[in-house]
Structure 1
């Protein structure tokens, strides 16, 4: 179809000068949309008409609203009973994505108006707005389509003309026109279904009209048309359903369905707030850009994040599905009922939903011990990204639509949730929840800023929360607290400074002083009352023999101890004086501080070696993560050094892996299953060779399982081991193993099985197989949403890293077309293809390539890649000889590497 509004006049969106935002003029406000849509699955177009009820706030001779890639066919403006204009002049501002309707007769302030527009659009393949998703019909192999939506953050304008800003809430009357055999879904339940004559096809169709929604933001609107099946639970006050396309086993929706029903009841009680909609639908969408989307009453998911087959998927997948479902359901209150007023408050949505998913998971599955893994998952994710200069504050100023997708990252989600965890510890969980209840009650159906949350928490606690917490949300980064021991042996000296992974903090970047909750752990317990709000201070300790800061790692900071103190803490861990969270967090801090020059890498290697008796999964998860970060930084170094680091990893994990074994018993614990899987994969991928405790070394065991699987035994590889087995055999195998995995991707019964095969392909190192993986990623067999999966594991070896970068350059136009810059997936692929390098020459090459191309929509991700490379380069300069000496002294490095580094 022709380019929309080609040659139109430039006009439109206003600028909120107080915050620099490009937003719509405030002369009118929408109150209700009456929207009808009819898709055509033959030519992938749709027709629509919308009538928007408006409150006229100021005398107006124009109305501006958002549109993107829509053809406007007719426009009428009326006031009360009179038509103002049925043929207005339209102008379009392409940059601001705003259509302005100009008319001569004035709309007086204080009156009501109606704007009616007919329009058409493409049922696009961009995973945004009103788009098409496809699947294979299991009966005849033909491709079938459904129409679905993804409006967040600013793509409602791509589906229909709208006032597409979160603060411009309105009610919606939705009607969908479709073939009679298709299922039609929207946010609300069905009000009526009638037979109509189709304007598009000329035949008879059904018009499904839905009940009016509560006041809500445009980004939460959703509608779906397609062949769908469902399972339903009536155990909650309103029906809860899980939908999927006919090619999926709908029985796999029961876990999420039952969990959702229980979670809605749990949230109603926790928030003291009824879920206000008459039903809850959750739909598995074959093509989906995010993990899930919290549309009010109609949540959409990637298939793998909603459907769960207990027999075909492992413990980690089950936990992921549970967390995603509970995350999206938390949004029904935090984000949907109460919504941030603009996108710089995104963290209010995402940070809370992330925290709440862990809170509810802990309530439902206490045996999962999720607050332990929170330290190694959410906290480390936040600290990792926020240690780069190219990070951003939690409350990040957002001016334009194309900037918004880039802040859906670990700062808004993980750091945001960590701030909430920190404040919940500071206030006490009961007080914190009471503040949340007051916040939701006061602002229901409205919009808020961060200060409104602080006010509610202050009201509930009697403390000035804003003074404490604003510093954390309005500033980029976090501190490292350096600890020295005073000569009096009765106190310690603590000092805070800005922490950067690149270890090059400038004086002007180190002016923010955070309120750091020290959480002092001693033999007497934990003292939560001490806060470091100045640059430095002395802190009394009951005994200098044992103390640790940041008990359970609820605080957002790193702690730097002397090598002697770190050694004592290692012994304290063996003596049982530290919690699981303490031990995992201490290892994480030591690894991050070595990477940034606060400690030597040899000290971290020694610390890890001292944890050989450790028995907890979460701690071992962090140990293997830190070994991986060292090995990744040394990726482009001499082979003997890399082999020595690999041998060190193997020494740490192999015996534990053999003792734990790789057989799974029915009823085995959730954590134990993940622990066995972690050890098996870590040992096998580091080249596990021999063991006196088993007849198979792990590599042989992996091949034995794989060969049985290849011969048709679908049960030969336990779901918990599938990813590890695939990775091990590809790392050590060749074309035969590669072909078997491609076939496993093509024929897998579940999305989890298929994705695991796809994710493993990059482990193959042979040049011809690397090329096949890269070609496969851009083929029609891999959906755009999954391009990152096959290429991700190419980052595990040098030939793959180099090939990825060349592939990105050679296929830039194709990749850009498949993954439009406005969507976050392009930034993800750019980071995958660049961030694994370690040298300044790599930075120079990346900068040169992108200096000649637009980086709009992913400039922040690219900057983060360059920062990460720079940090590794500086780490290597500092500690290259240190690591070599340590490895030599312990017999891991037998050959001289002189002159090869």
Structure 2
């Protein structure tokens, strides 16, 4: 651990071994509770001061007792705000085991962090209800009970919690027993195995559940369960439950079916059986994140766990639930069983859970083309963010506890995933996973580092990996491999904007259809034979770098052979050209690619549509309306051949549940075509969307296309806008997210102000969906910036209740703005404010605006020439 991290970690003289946590008097009206915690410490180095993290707790009594029963008098108790810790001084060195018992009062939070309250409407009665749950990652356990709140200070935990008799109480372990006490029911849970404080969890509410079990009967039971190694004298199928608010449990059937299969898959893959005697998946009504991997009590945002219990479900909703459930269950091994040593290596948790989460979904749903989905939503997103100066290395430096939460970002999750995907692609998946299994076996119930992981992978694969991969993890950015043709030779040159050092670059070369996996570039430059037809670097986009094909001849050679390329390879070439070449080169490539259309490549087209909308958003305010209209006509011409088929699909749905890959891909492709065309006011798409809207023929399959198209037309009236807002008020959360994305697409200036006012009316956790729509709606850019300026105090205060909420609002809303004035105005909004919880996101947003400004300056004339 670096000196920087030691500045806000606790002294390591005493190690916590076991916690007994008792909570009572949960007062939802006053948002308070009473707590008592007893911590058993092991002495490592004698000292007279005991440190425990605590935040927003009122300490009422402290008792210190030695292992032999002798009590020690507390000489002083102070609070260290830098460490967020109480410092207990007993006036003499403690040189043996001891316990600290603390009585305190705490707050029930309302900001979706710590121990917090979610308010919601009962689905059956429409009454106002509440539920209580925890979200302790990364440093919020200390806001609920005094503890040593660091990931490598693992301990066992025993929870006792009192609640009203009609409420269900859940925790990491099954309930041991309960009894009535003073009008409340006290619930006592079995002791957990070793875990970090951020994984401790409980929940209280009016829940119902559905239950399933794994097929394999290899999992521990409570019979002689060992908290030391997670084993028991009898094994059985693992019971898995999905808990929801009353009336929603059947919406958890799909998630439950995924969970039962994924636990068996991972137990086999990692060669370690799931190590706790139950697994609960809990739907929490208010949630800023998709989910949290608490050991054996995983909490979820409703749309990450529940889908409608009918055929009326969109493919995107199914994919989201399958992936998030798989990701969180992966954490039970990678993160919970084996935990990163310190938060600077958060990516060890999140990068791997992302990679293996997608792996699991691909195994369970092979017709979904998950490989291509990963390329679009993970790999490309990481490359785009990591191209910024304000990006950061995967292993990230941290300044203080608040800074830890900013590490939960695209780099930790998606670049981390991409680096692991690159290693797997280079070594082969079998070797990679065998190395991962060895890593888990050697480090289970403990903490580990990236060195531990890659040493294990190297041992299995017989290839030294750590030195190769270090630059990708310790440096910001990635290499760009330039490719020039000279006669029968290709000249390759690697360069990076962040360092003069040479990187190991796995070329993953395909030449005339022949794949050469383990060929690398470790020098500044190299020469390769071109082959007779084409040369493709970074096959399937498995490695984390960009390729700059420095002539249209090289790009055309790939286009001429594009039918031989996989979807991922096509996406890689398109994205590299889009990022590195003039806009005219990209449009040239798109035009040639579209002529070889195949709906099986739905993610290729989604990638193209995303890039074109991004370009359009960036240049919108800098080009003449006539040029913008030309660009729109060019874009619509690309999709015109499939509009009629797509509209037929829109009016006669029900293909999305098919297990046939072609049918499923075609459904995604048509949805992408229509979303794209509707936003650009394609006449037939607008006509059909308005017809379906007037007939109220709206369902999960067509909702985003119909509402998105109707609302984004310049002549859409306030009456229509208000009707959709009314739908919003009665919508379940999945519908709400879709509707907000549609509302944010309005282009009639009369609707801008009522649209922006929604930022004050909807729950803060849902603001991100409105801001996602703002990002590709350049018609509102000037007005939304003015609105944020004029309402900055109230708006930022409202969104800053949770740093994830404010961070997503900034990064989404202003992602494609450009111009020096925009930079000045954005900076002025935050002058004099404490931005420490989201300063990195703000700096990244400002740099994106700078980058967009350069893009406009460099590409508008090229666009004019291309469209001339």
Residue in structure 2 matching 1:762, options 728, 744, 751? 744
Cα displacement (A) at 1:624 = 0.7
Residue in structure 2 matching 1:753, options 721, 735, 738? 735
Question: Residues 354 and 536 of structure 1: is their aligned pair in 2 closer, same or farther, counting only changes over 3 Å?
Answer: same
Cα displacement (A) at 1:684 = 1.6
Q: Is the 8 A contact 2:5 2:400 kept in 1?
A: no
Residue in structure 2 matching 1:621, options 603, 606, 610? 606
Residue in structure 2 matching 1:722, options 674, 687, 703? 703
State the alpha-carbon separation in 2 of the partners of residues 528 and 139 from structure 1. 57
Question: Residues 427 and 798 of structure 1: is their aligned pair in 2 closer, same or farther, counting only changes over 3 Å?
Answer: closer
1:893 corresponding residue in structure 2 = none
1:27 corresponding residue in structure 2 = 13
2:850 corresponding residue in structure 1 = 870
Residue in structure 2 matching 1:208, options 187, 205, 216? 187
2:158 corresponding residue in structure 1 = 173
> Which aligned pairs between 1:384-403 and structure 2 lie closer than 5 A?
384-403=384-403
Residue in structure 2 matching 1:119, options 79, 104, 112? 104
Q: Is the 8 A contact 2:552 2:585 kept in 1?
A: no
Cα displacement (A) at 1:428 = 1.2
Q: Is the 8 A contact 2:549 2:555 kept in 1?
A: no
1:647 corresponding residue in structure 2 = 633
State the alpha-carbon separation in 2 of the partners of residues 267 and 225 from structure 1. 29
Cα displacement (A) at 1:440 = 0.6
Cα displacement (A) at 1:88 = 4.3
Cα displacement (A) at 1:302 = 0.3
> Which aligned pairs between 1:793-812 and structure 2 lie closer than 5 A?
793-812=773-792
Question: Residues 834 and 367 of structure 1: is their aligned pair in 2 closer, same or farther, counting only changes over 3 Å?
Answer: closer
Q: TM-score, normalised by structure 2?
A: 0.93
Q: Is the 8 A contact 1:289 1:785 kept in 2?
A: yes
Structure 1 position 670 matched with structure 2 position 657: no
Deviates more, 1:87-96 or 1:290-299: 87-96
> Which aligned pairs between 1:324-473 and structure 2 lie closer than 5 A?
324-473=324-473
Deviation track 1:869-894 (CA, whole Å, cap 9, x = no partner) reads 11111111112111112112xxxxxx
Point out where structure 2 has 5 or more consecutive residues left out of the alignment.
216-236
State the alpha-carbon separation in 2 of the partners of residues 745 and 374 from structure 1. 31
Structure 1 position 771 matched with structure 2 position 753: yes
1:569 corresponding residue in structure 2 = 557
Cα displacement (A) at 1:65 = 1.3
Cα displacement (A) at 1:821 = 6.8
1:525 corresponding residue in structure 2 = 514
Cα displacement (A) at 1:587 = 0.7
Cα displacement (A) at 1:87 = 4.6
State the alpha-carbon separation in 2 of the partners of residues 640 and 83 from structure 1. 86
State the alpha-carbon separation in 1 of the partners of residues 643 and 543 from structure 2. 33
> Which aligned pairs between 1:32-431 and structure 2 lie closer than 5 A?
32-38=18-24, 39-85=26-72, 87-108=74-95, 111-197=96-182, 204-236=183-215, 237-246=237-246, 248-309=247-308, 310-431=310-431
Cα displacement (A) at 1:81 = 3.4
Deviation track 1:781-818 (CA, whole Å, cap 9, x = no partner) reads x2221122234323333452223223333333333433
Cα displacement (A) at 1:718 = 4.1
State the number of aligned residues. Answer: 831
Deviates more, 1:118-127 or 1:164-173: 118-127
Cα displacement (A) at 1:18 = 7.2
Q: Give the match's secondary structure for 1:244.
A: strand
Cα displacement (A) at 1:464 = 1.0
Cα displacement (A) at 1:722 = 1.2
Cα displacement (A) at 1:572 = 2.6
2:543 corresponding residue in structure 1 = 555
State the alpha-carbon separation in 1 of the partners of residues 396 and 801 from structure 2. 20
Deviation track 1:676-718 (CA, whole Å, cap 9, x = no partner) reads 11111111211212xxxxxxx1110001111111xxxxxx234
Deviation track 1:754-788 (CA, whole Å, cap 9, x = no partner) reads 22112221222334422222222212xx2221122
Q: Give the match's secondary structure for 1:787.
A: helix
State the alpha-carbon separation in 1 of the partners of residues 356 and 422 from structure 2. 13
Q: Give the match's secondary structure for 2:712.
A: helix
Cα displacement (A) at 1:842 = 1.1
Deviates more, 1:583-592 or 1:770-779: 770-779
Deviation track 1:265-294 (CA, whole Å, cap 9, x = no partner) reads 111111110111111000111101111000
Cα displacement (A) at 1:84 = 4.1
Q: TM-score, normalised by structure 1?
A: 0.90
1:706 corresponding residue in structure 2 = 693
State the alpha-carbon separation in 2 of the partners of residues 857 and 319 from structure 1. 31
Q: Give the match's secondary structure for 1:23.
A: coil
State the alpha-carbon separation in 2 of the partners of residues 341 and 512 from structure 1. 28
State the alpha-carbon separation in 2 of the partners of residues 799 and 96 from structure 1. 47
State the alpha-carbon separation in 2 of the partners of residues 240 and 449 from structure 1. 31
Q: Is the 8 A contact 1:684 1:698 kept in 2?
A: yes
Q: Is the 8 A contact 1:76 1:83 kept in 2?
A: no
Please provide the CA RMSD for this pair.
1.8
1:855 corresponding residue in structure 2 = 835
Cα displacement (A) at 1:185 = 0.2
State the alpha-carbon separation in 2 of the partners of residues 518 and 16 from structure 1. 34
Q: Is the 8 A contact 1:294 1:300 kept in 2?
A: yes
> Which aligned pairs between 1:499-538 and structure 2 lie closer than 5 A?
505=497, 509-538=498-527
